[in-house]
Each structure stands twice: as C-alpha cells, then as structure tokens.
Chains A and B, each alone.
Chain A
C-alpha cells in the first residue's frame, strides 16, 4: 500500500496548492454548467469524482502550474484585455475583407520581426496568439524573445511593430 501510494501520489501537490484549488474549482464549475445537473446527489458525486480524477492525472503530468492554471492573471484578461482585442479584431477584419473584395487586390505582403518585452513564456504565447488572431498578421516563428510576423499589408505590420499589444500584455503580466 505504501509503495502504491508513493507511486501514484500527486506530485508536488502541496507546493501547487493554489493552482490545484483553482483548477479544481474551474473543473467543478465547468462540469456543473456543461451537464446542467444540479439536483441528483448521485450524479453530482460522480461529477465531483471525475473532477478529482482529472486533477490527479494533471498533477501526475505536472501541468498544474502558472501556465496550466494561470490564476496569477486573475480576471484581467477577460475584463481589460479581451474587449480591446475584440475591437482590434473587428477593425482589422474589415480591412482584410476590404482587400479581398477589392477589384485588384493591393497586396503588400511583408515579413517583420517584432521584438517582445514579455518575461514569461505564457506572455509570449498570448502575444503570438493575439497577433495570429487579428486577421492580416500571422505569427510564423518565435525565435528567442522575437516573433516573426507575416503581414498582408504594411499598416498591419507597422501596427504590430508599434508594440501596443506588447505593452498591454506586459501590463497584464505585471499585474498593473
């Protein structure tokens, strides 16, 4: 039994208690909302059990950390960053749709290397994904702390180079 426990015990659970609790709470909330069962104690118990199994597997895989359950970001990604990103996405969507639907497509394809200021991997991932999410620019390659971006027009490229997105994500990271 002791060998069994040592073999299968969650690893580093104590040090990552904060992240484990966050992930567990998120899993339970997700289970409740996806299933829509709030009354039957039997089903609720099974749901809780499945959440615990998920938590155990995640801790065995050692993915419960500041990347797997990024509680340190709080809700700021949704309240501050997302609205701005949606605005940018809508604006650049109209630009790219205009290019596509114009009679002779005036393409100014170019490749730029954008410097980043993020300290963590997670921050760089958010930046690269945000760049790709706005149409007209695609993050092609991440080399060290720089991101190579393929852009459809010069304005799009200049916008990424201006670094507003970069600054906003840095703000997100530093909790400012």
Chain B
C-alpha cells in the first residue's frame, strides 16, 4: 500500500515539476506581456496543485495535510488576484495588448 502511494505521489510531483517548467518556458517563449501572464498561470495552478497533491499523498492523514490544503486554497485565491492586478495596472498605464483576432470588441470605455 505504501509502495502504491509512493509511486502515485512521485508521479504527481513529476507531473507538477514538468508543468512548472513548461510555465517557465512559456514565459520565455511567448512574445509580449499579456500572453506571458497566461504562462505564469500554468505554474500557479497545475504546477503548484500537482506538487501539493503529491506532498499530501506523502504526508497521509495528518495536520500537515491540512496545512498543505490551506496553502493550496490561499494560493488559489491570491494568484488570480495578483495576476488581475498586474494586468489591470498594465492596461491603465497604457500598455495595449497585441491582438491577432478582433472578436466581440464592443468598446467598453476604460475609465
């Protein structure tokens, strides 16, 4: 049973690491600010989530698990908030996103 858990948690940790690295590669490869933000999102969600799940499988049913879940919960609230703050401040300071497609661009007047 412990062997199965170990293998599972290793798998989760590995996948999480791969996704974290993918996020890093994305930040380097993508062309401009607004699309690079999306790459950061991968590291925040899948990378962190998978690594935390792997660690939970290692720690079992203890108080450590509660702390890990709490970390994941707060990460899930703070990372989109900071991402949104970043994007909004970039937009209000006049950085216009480069767009490939014009869809549904009813101009919602920026204040």
A-side interface residues toward B, CB under 8 Å? 30, 33-34, 36, 86, 89-90, 93, 96-97, 100-101, 105, 107-113, 128-130, 132-141, 143, 146, 148, 150, 152, 154, 157, 161
CA distance A129 to B82 in the complex (A): 10
State how many angstroms separate the Cβ of B32 from the closest Cβ of chain A. Answer: 9
Task: List 9 contacting pairs A-B, 8 Å CB cutoff, sorted by A.
Answer: A100-B25, A100-B26, A107-B100, A134-B45, A135-B42, A138-B37, A138-B84, A150-B87, A150-B97
B-side interface residues toward A, CB under 8 Å? 19, 22, 25-26, 29-31, 34-35, 37-39, 41-42, 44-46, 49, 63, 66-67, 70, 76-77, 79-81, 83-84, 87-88, 91, 97-106, 108-111
State how many angstroms separate the Cβ of A109 from the closest Cβ of chain B. Answer: 5
State how many angstroms separate the Cβ of B25 from the closest Cβ of chain A. Answer: 6
Known A-B contacts A128-B84, A132-B84; A110 and B100 likewise in contact (beta carbons under 8 Å): yes
B contact residues around A110 at 8 Å (CB): 99-103
Contact across chains for B45 and A135 when beta carbons are under 8 A apart? yes
Q: Identify B29's interface contact among A34, A105, A157, CB under 8 A.
A: A105
Known A-B contacts A96-B42, A135-B42, A138-B87; A129 and B80 likewise in contact (beta carbons under 8 Å): yes
Contact across chains for B84 and A107 when beta carbons are under 8 A apart? no
Name the CB-closest residue of B to A94.
B46
CA distance A154 to B102 in the complex (A): 10
Known A-B contacts A109-B97, A141-B91; A161 and B104 likewise in contact (beta carbons under 8 Å): yes
CA distance A33 to B63 in the complex (A): 6
Contact across chains for B19 and A112 when beta carbons are under 8 A apart? no
Contact across chains for B66 and A101 when beta carbons are under 8 A apart? no
Contact across chains for B38 and A111 when beta carbons are under 8 A apart? no
Contact across chains for A96 and B80 when beta carbons are under 8 A apart? no
